Chains A and B, each alone.
Chain A
Amino acid sequence: DAGITQSPRHKVTETGTPVTLRCHQTENHRYMYWYRQDPGHGLRLIHYSYGVKDTDKGEVSDGYSVSRSKTEDFLLTLESATSSQTSVYFCAISESPTGSAHTIYFGEGSWLTVV
């Protein structure tokens, strides 16, 4: 298994509160991603990073921000959580950008419930 650790794995939070999810990798891969998984939608890209302090938006970035201060850590922040952000969040890593033939590896997910 790729060395990807997500924390917390499960969280319940109230509407309007900030939430930060952390992804830590031990593979030294340059590219890191945050996806959300919702029934009927597969996985959708929220934000990604192509290096330290280099990030860009994905398909569903509204309401989310990210930061990458070290190669191994990629943080996803919900500034003010809403019920529509209840989802399972997956961190992923790869040696090359998506759109290449390189495999993308996934963490085990973080279950977030916003009440």
Chain B
Amino acid sequence: AQSVTQLDSHVSVSEGTPVLLRCNYSSSYSPSLFWYVQHPNKGLQLLLKYTSAATLVKGINGFEAEFKKSETSFHLTKPSAHMSDAAEYFCVVSGDNDMRFGAGTRLTVKP
């Protein structure tokens, strides 16, 4: 079975400072990995995905994530937070007809 652990349930940063949202996964396969963002009262929107190509994946709105197989991690980063980045973020692992969501990390951005 696959699983995802988002290491922080809540992250708070100041506007203009870097963002790091941590995700570890467990899978017996060569998984695909995704990051989704959910703004209040909205559905989930794809930020980026890793599908066994380049290990550094660039997404929308300046976000990127690095796949590290040796560490079974897929952390999401952004160099400079913006107020509009405040949302909940979900890490997702997909493989062998199974898809698992992490519990989510709520990002707060302070002015």
Identify the A interface with B (CB < 8 A). Answer: 4, 40-45, 90, 97-101, 103-109
Contacts and interface: CB of A to CB of B under 8 A. Distances in A.
Interface residues of B, number: 25
B42 A97 contact: no
Chain B, interface SS category: strand
A109 B40 CA distance: 11
Contacts of A103: 34, 46, 49
Interface of B: 4, 9, 32, 34, 36, 41-46, 49, 51-52, 90, 94-99, 101-104
A40 B102 CA distance: 9
B103 A90 contact: no
B60 to A, nearest CB: 12
15 contacts: A42-B90, A42-B101, A42-B103, A43-B90, A45-B99, A98-B94, A98-B97, A99-B94, A99-B98, A101-B32, A101-B94, A104-B99, A105-B46, A107-B43, A109-B41
Contacts of B90: 42-43
Contacts of A104: 99
Contacts of B96: 99
Given A101-B32, A108-B43, 13 more contacts: A4-B43, A42-B102, A44-B101, A90-B44, A98-B94, A98-B99, A99-B95, A99-B98, A100-B32, A103-B46, A106-B36, A108-B42, A109-B41
Contact of B42 (A41, A45, A99, A109): A109
